Structure 1
């Protein structure tokens, strides 16, 4: 990072501080997401923001090796007390946190002390994959669906905050003020909310936001979750985004929507392929579908993820795709007639919110890019619940260990993400597997419930 860039950042921060001061902001939270999917933070008082923008804020690289319980593993590229990084706030994504009066937020990029991107910085990895696709003339629009369950009462037990039926108007009525405050807080933070509704599981809700570029979509996923968490606390509630809240219940997903674009056209529509896919759109989708077992190591990264990822729960437990098939791991969404040119997209249903959203999108884009390079084609779509087809449809890995083996063996992901990332993901996943070795589902759910 040269002197001119530091001066540019300083001036941009000074202008931002004027706006934030007018909004009564006192401090700015700078966040990044670790390998376990936990959002970590350092904060600076507003007068210090300009220095942070130009020179960064110190942070240990050890967080790459944190497990969800804050214990630390050691890999070849992460772990241990030595080293330092700098957190640089992305001033273009600064947002006032109206649910946390006096606070603003910005996602942080992690650099080393020589000004080079940290090889384990997932936000940088996602941006790099966006650039690689752009070099080939493609762009991607993405968004995350956010599901959460709200609990009432003290302690670590889960007590549903609403009693109405799944998707029922009763649930909205019971918590109408709460849900309105979620929408208001997100809107004030610049997040375009498209839909909010009660979900299937006890105390569960879901919110959908507008698509964005992949890095922006991951930023928004972090902002949405932390805003929901803050609003929940103001209402005397506790929000969890964990993959499995109750061992015998339906878990929280973290579905990813994606569409591939070129020259202003959505390549998921208007083609001669299945359901209107163009050849490019089909190849992109085929690359992702082929690597879903490996992608689970980043998209369903917790032992608890595999309590959720079971058949006949709309979790996407089979390595197949289908038109509007909510039991397929990849659901193809055309949108309504008349808007398909902008609405058609892929939904990856097998991922959950224990994932680092930046790392998920970096890996998914790399898989899609490999499909484009190979000119991939999709297998026959599945139009029924895959479980009814016996062994003719391959199930996805049913444990984190199996998914991790597929991830480590995948040459495309290794090349795209880099050896430090692959090694560190493997070390952290093995650490979590050991952490829960022999634990029954009820214990796994309880110990992960409030970590996400």
Structure 2
């Protein structure tokens, strides 16, 4: 008597990848472009792109079998303070990275090189019940699962547009000080100084299918170059690709690019505002067609209420570094200072800058967009389910009560404590991702707490008691 073995998720992915039409189309595109090598890439918990490269001649084999990766890569192969590798040790089984055919692209700066984003699965040689199932720490596939479940339950889709700010140091350009009387914000003469940088970024983005929109300069050397909003998964892919483009442009121009959230005490931070809308089909449910002034529909109010209810706990994801919390602490620099909402006040956690759009301001330039969107989807659904009211906008006169929502945490350590207590946020990540992310970030916080900084030397290093 034999027992039929059901196909695993890995088996089903292999079947999709080896469909004759799909293989022929990809092989044709690769041959036409003259592609010689292909990157098989995944995204780590910290938002880095890692993976393997293989000759294009191995396309068919790799579409069927994928490539093998050690799961420690998902925590950047970080070794904790105790000496143990975080997430997976030397004896851990490798996982299988299967190309996502829809993600295929060709590098515009070297058209002989192409890439796929990959989905991660437990290796086929693992025990039955484990073999072939999706890897829980695969942040990109995790967002797709979270968003799919949300859509199945609510009929809604989250679309987003991101405003990534970056700081550039370009050889040959004299520094513009923060103490100059004239601000560099939106100043076209200052923008012109960085023309070799922004022209390449825009061109490479367009070549990869981004609909580039507008951009500006803020602080000295700080650029913000935006692209059109889209479904959350597409936008998340584009953010990590945009950062990859920036690093390539830095190599080509001899510049240095930084995504550090707060590079100088007196300067603006590098944020990554998430502009959010909810769609049922092609209708934005945050828009009431009968009204034209700034407003929120009932669905919009409840979505906003859910976001605000979980903003404090979500900050561990939105501000993922020790440095992130310096951005929230500096008054007068347009970063969010408190958990409330408003129309024009740039210091609110959420702004309604236009009809049908919520601007969520806590995320910074080092955010992992797959995790941030997964958490926002869960917070929105919680608000819709509980019909959470956000209260009046801050700039409506009376203001949102100061104690209505938990305050923004002041440090990464405090943020991790809030994260652990919020079941909606941890539920959005799932138990395995929560444990792995928390371990990674707790180790980062502990290392900082044990480090002696320049500030301490300046404050305490001269003289005695």
> What TM-score bracket applies, with the shorter chain setting the length?
0.7 to 0.9
Question: Which residues of 2 match residues 301-316 of structure 1 at below 5 A?
Answer: 301-310=320-329, 311-316=331-336
Q: Is this contact kept in 1: 2:184–2:190, CA < 8 A?
A: yes
> In 2, distance between residues paired with 1:394 and 1:253?
21
Deviations 1:280-312 (A, max 9, x none): 221112111110011111110100101112233
Q: Is this contact kept in 1: 2:103–2:116, CA < 8 A?
A: yes
- Call closer, same or farther: CA 1:279–1:348 in 2, change over 3 Å: same
Q: Which residue of 2 aligns with 1:108?
A: 118
Q: Residue 145 of structure 2: which of 114, 128, 142 is its match?
A: 128
- Call closer, same or farther: CA 1:244–1:39 in 2, change over 3 Å: farther
- Call closer, same or farther: CA 1:73–1:373 in 2, change over 3 Å: farther
Q: Residue 119 of structure 1: which of 103, 120, 136 is its match?
A: 136
Q: Is this contact kept in 2: 1:139–1:262, CA < 8 A?
A: yes
Q: Residue 257 of structure 2: which of 234, 239, 244 is its match?
A: 239
- Call closer, same or farther: CA 1:24–1:194 in 2, change over 3 Å: same
> By how many angstroms is 1:379 displaced?
1.7
Length-normalised TM-score, structure 1: 0.86
Instruction: Determine which structure has greater relative contact order: mean sequence separation of CA pairs < 8 Å that are 6+ residues apart, divided by chain length.
Output: 1
Question: Which residues of 2 match residues 13-412 of structure 1 at below 5 A?
Answer: 13-66=23-76, 70-72=78-80, 78-81=87-90, 82-113=92-123, 114-135=131-152, 136-153=154-171, 165-199=184-218, 201-270=219-288, 275-310=294-329, 311-334=331-354, 340=355, 344-383=356-395, 395-412=407-424
- Call closer, same or farther: CA 1:121–1:73 in 2, change over 3 Å: farther
> In 1, distance between residues paired with 2:10 and 2:242?
33
> By how many angstroms is 1:39 displaced?
2.8
> By how many angstroms is 1:49 displaced?
2.9
Q: Which residue of 2 aligns with 1:449?
A: none
- Call closer, same or farther: CA 1:312–1:246 in 2, change over 3 Å: closer
Structure 1 window deviating more from structure 2 (2-11 vs 251-260): it is 2-11
Where does the alignment leave 5 or more consecutive residues of structure 2 unmatched? Answer: 1-8, 124-130, 457-465
> By how many angstroms is 1:224 displaced?
1.0
> By how many angstroms is 1:13 displaced?
4.2
- Call closer, same or farther: CA 1:293–1:3 in 2, change over 3 Å: closer
> By how many angstroms is 1:44 displaced?
2.4
> In 1, distance between residues paired with 2:397 and 2:407?
12
> By how many angstroms is 1:84 displaced?
1.1
> By how many angstroms is 1:378 displaced?
0.9
> In 1, distance between residues paired with 2:57 and 2:26?
11
- Call closer, same or farther: CA 1:264–1:429 in 2, change over 3 Å: same
Structure 1 window deviating more from structure 2 (377-386 vs 34-43): it is 377-386
Length-normalised TM-score, structure 2: 0.84
Q: Is this contact kept in 2: 1:366–1:412, CA < 8 A?
A: yes
